[in-house]
Chain A
Amino acid sequence: MATHALSPAVPAYRGGLYEWLTTTDHKKIGIMYVINSFLFFLIGGMFALLVRTELATPGIQIFTNEHVYNESFSIHATVMIFLFIIPMLAGLGNFAVPLMIGAPDMAFPRVNALSFWMLPLGGILLLSGFLTPGGAAAAGWTSYPPLTERLPLSSPGPGQDLWIAAIILIGTSSILGGINFLVTIFKMRAPGMTLFRMPIMVWTILVTSVLVVMATPVITSALVMLYIDRNLGGSFFLPEHGGQAVLYQNVFWFYSHPAVYVMVLPAMGVISEVLPVFSRKPLFGYKAFIFATAGIGALGFSVWAHHMFTTGAVFLPFFSLMTFLIAVPTGVKMFNWIFTLFRGQLTFSTPLIFAIGFLTMFLIGGINGAFSAAVPIDFALQDTYWVVAHLHYVLFGGSVFGMFAGIYYWFPKMTGRMLDEGLGKLHFILMFVGFNLTFFPMHMLGIQGMPRRIADYADPSWNGWNLLATIGGFIIAASMLPFLWNVFISLRNGKVAGDDPWEGNTLEWATSSPPPPYNFDRLPEIRSERPVFDARHGLVGHGGHGGRAEDEAPKALEEGHVDSQGPGRPS
């Protein structure tokens, strides 16, 4: 492989700690996003283990004060959603998007650094609630009033206020990041990179960014109103002061439902990059996938009240119908993925295995979600462990499996080293088994009526499932050990990756690993959504081989973008 043509004159990632702390390079910022998010994943996971340990058997195990249990599940969910899933996917996007569109960096590199540094600050603000006299926020990640405004939960005042401040800060980081992505995607594409030649990952980040820019400010408004209610004598949400508690739920879910697409669309983008590469086929139905993504984004704004069916204050038929409708574009994507795999030359490398984990687990998450979209069933299942099972199947089974697919896929590009395949597969097996042991029993618990957010229970028929879920939780925790060990040994002694270890399709594989500052010395011609594939096989463009395209093919050869197999083997 001709890497020398593109090799940087200076080693990438030179420089010490100061260089990393002050960098505006999207790749370094992306990697810092990933590391920071992973640290918060571990912190959120600790809280999850505390919760599962408490629930392993009936009675009180570790929390003498049930308020501390409430803090644990509240901080678990908040950390996982706002400090792990959303920023982890934003970090992968930060690393990949400029590379994939052939840009030297994001449109606003300094704003990009600002977006990143708000995250650890927000995390510290959030967790510092534990140092306040009343403890951290304890009203769940939704922080509904009146729970947040009245005793006993309002008593840890500073903790809840720190939660509000942290979420506003993290939300601002998201908005700035979303604006940055949109301007980058619309304005910084390389010549030839038309919108309908962009990698799917870039499309999903585009739609995600639209959701972020339009939905996140709405939760900011909900939170400032909550803050005014709590601290400045406001009357938005407390009925005895002329306010309405349901108002908060409406404004909150107007953000927080689109937020679930913010949490899953980029993961869908990741596996839409991984599946074609490891099936040796183009993505089945490229444009259908894009329109489905845009459809999910648009419909995502019309379903927020399905979280509020049991309030009796929303128009049930509309929100139920719209919720079912979302299954249509999602189903389109399922077909895209399945028919990409169908009759492909599959290579079962770790990224593909995690992507298949996403496909199967997200399918379950979609199906059990459809039950809750039916109003009568939702009335029975609301606030039971069924909901906990559903959200973990989409957010863990979907997003987390997807982001690990992305980490295994791009690790060689980020670091120049391959991760070990054996340890990667061990990681997958442990995580997959642990995940299903933890969350599948929650379906049964939900049907049996076990409510969420309780520290103790007395129904003996729940004991077995709960113990199983706790064992599964510890297996998930154990699955992180081979992963961390893998990263550690691969960074030291891993196989050198080379520019294009997976024979990828998209532009990030046309530069060195890790890429030099400003990414590209030169770019291959972009005549399709798979420019690196085209260059490797001497094909430039799919249809319409005009005279101009033929002129380009020898140029690609000269530049060394064609591998030894030469032209041929078209998909």
Chain B
Amino acid sequence: MTADAPALPATAGGHAEGHAAGGHAQRGISNPILGMILFITSEVMFFSGLFAAYFATRANNSPWPPPVFEGILNPLSLILVATIILITSSFTCQWAVWSIRRGDRRGFLRNIGITFALGIVFLVLQAYDYSLLFGEGMTLGSGPFGTTYFTLTGFHGAHVFGGVLMLGVILYRGSAGQFSARHHDAVEAVSLYWHFVDVVWILLFSILYLL
């Protein structure tokens, strides 16, 4: 058994250790991180389906955006602030990972706390942005433009919400002292997820606001 095996949940790695003759080769990537990478793969395919629908719908409806909503999605607005916040949170998240890899729990907790807070700020800004759009008459039901916009950003927002929950669990476990330089697979896995959510937003922002 190499160093990262004890970091596995007791149900998987622990039994492997105890029962199988000679132990299992636990080199390379750990089970939770591989599981998270595969989960992110499936999420990529989910968003691929939505993106495909977006482009098919956009190609089928011109002009895009329709005249009533001309200029409603302005990149130089609140949404740019939200975008910068989310990108920043990816950096703080990675700093948290690097901190815990060094065994710096204080730096880890500080950075993961900042990431958690930035995630919440992003959600609040997005909700406020939604209310502004609703005020201008753009909703999920207002034709292909509104449907695709709110479906894509809505599912992204739901994923940010899921990520914030995960960060909350990491924050809670971290403040209970459950992570160390050797045992922090959950932190690595959640950081991967958070980066994925961030990348999806960069794509969404580019396509919905800039393209």
- Asked if B35 contacts A107 (CB within 8 A), the reply is yes
**Is the pair A520, B20 in contact by a Cβ cutoff of 8 Å?**
yes
The interface-forming segment of B37-45, B74-82, B95-103 is B37-45
Contacts of B49 in A (CB 8 A): 217-222, 251, 254
Given contacts A218-B48, A244-B57, contact A24 B11 (CB under 8 A): yes
Chain B residues near A191: list those with CB within 8 A. 22-25
Tell me if A389 counts as interface (CB < 8 A to partner B): no
Docked Cα-Cα span, A110 to B35, in Å, equals 13
* Contacting residues, chain A, for B61 (C-beta < 8 A): 242
How many of chain A's residues have a CB under 8 angstroms from any CB in B?
Answer: 55
Q: Once the chains bind, are B140 and A232 in contact (CB under 8 Å)?
A: yes
**B12 proximity list for chain A (CB < 8 A):** 105-109, 188
Which chain A positions have C-beta within 8 A of B47? Answer: 221
Complex Cα gap A232–B139 (Å): 10
* CB contact between A247 and one of B18, B22, B56, B140 (< 8 Å): that residue: B56
A-chain residues with CB within 8 Å of residue B21 when the two chains form the complex: 190, 520-523
Report how many A-B pairs have Cβ atoms within 8 Å: 154
Least CB distance from B56 to A in Å reads 5
| Complex contacts, B56 vs chain A, CB 8 Å | 244, 247, 250
Q: Provide the bound-state CA to CA distance between A109 and B18, in Å.
A: 16
Given A103-B16, A242-B143, A243-B144: A236 and B53 interface contact (C-beta under 8 Å): yes
Which chain B residue shows the least CB distance to A229?
A: B147
Q: Does B52 contact A (CB under 8 A)?
A: yes
Q: Which chain B residues (112-141) contact chain A, with CB distance < 8 Å?
A: 139-141
For B, the interface residue count at a CB cutoff of 8 angstroms equals 45
How distant is the Cα of A72 from the Cα of B95 in the complex, in angstroms? 56
Closest to A188 in B: B24
Q: Does A491 contact B (CB under 8 A)?
A: no
A20 within 8 A of B: no
Name the residue on A nearest B46 (C-beta).
A217
A518 at the interface (CB under 8 A from B): yes
Q: Is B53's CB under 8 angstroms from A221's CB? A: yes
| Shortest Cβ distance from B33 into A: residue | A183
Q: In the assembled complex, how far is the CB of residue B44 from the closest CB belonging to chain A, in whole angstroms? A: 8
Chain A neighbourhood of B41, CB < 8 A: 213-214
Bound: A232/B47 CA distance, A? 20
> Looking at B11, B23, B47, which has the most chain A CB atoms within 10 Å of its CB?
B11
A107-B12, A224-B155 known; A216 and B57 CB under 8 Å? no
Judged by a CB distance under 8 angstroms, whether A179 is at the interface is yes
A542 touches B (CB below 8 Å)? no
Query: Residue on A with the closest CB to B28?
Result: A187
Assess whether A485 is interfacial by the CB under 8 Å rule: no
Q: Which of chain A's residues have a CB closer than 8 A to the CB of B143? A: 235, 241-242
Is B50 among interface residues, defined by CB-CB distance under 8 A? yes
Decide if A413 is an interface residue (CB 8 Å cutoff): no
Q: Which of A1-52 contact B (CB under 8 A)?
A: 24
Asked whether any CB of chain B lies closer than 8 Å to the CB of A225, the reply is: yes
For residue B148, give the distance in angstroms from its CB to the closest CB of chain A. Answer: 8
Contact of A190 among B20, B26, B147, B148 (CB under 8 A): B20
- Give Cα distance in the complex from A222 to B45, angstroms: 11
Given A24, A216, A233, which contacts B140 in the complex, CB threshold below 8 Å?
A233
Cβ of B173 under 8 Å from chain A: no
Q: Quick one: which of B165-185 are within 8 Å of A by CB?
A: none
Bound form: Cα–Cα A148–B38 in Å: 32
- Contacts A183-B35, A217-B49, A244-B56 given; does A105 touch B144 at CB 8 Å: no
Q: List 23 A-B contacts (CB under 8 A).
A: A108-B12, A108-B35, A109-B11, A178-B42, A183-B38, A188-B16, A188-B24, A190-B24, A214-B41, A214-B42, A218-B46, A218-B49, A219-B49, A221-B48, A221-B50, A228-B147, A233-B140, A235-B143, A236-B148, A236-B151, A254-B49, A521-B21, A523-B20
Query: A187-B29, A221-B48, A250-B56 provided; 12 other pairs, C-beta below 8 A?
Result: A105-B11, A105-B12, A109-B11, A188-B24, A221-B50, A234-B140, A236-B148, A242-B60, A244-B60, A247-B57, A254-B49, A519-B19
Per CB-CB distance, the 7 closest pairs between chain A and chain B, nearest first, are: A233-B141, A221-B49, A217-B46, A518-B19, A217-B45, A242-B144, A218-B49
* A interface, CB within 8 angstroms of B: 24, 102-111, 175, 178-180, 182-183, 186-191, 213-222, 224-225, 228, 232-236, 241-244, 247, 250-251, 254, 518-523
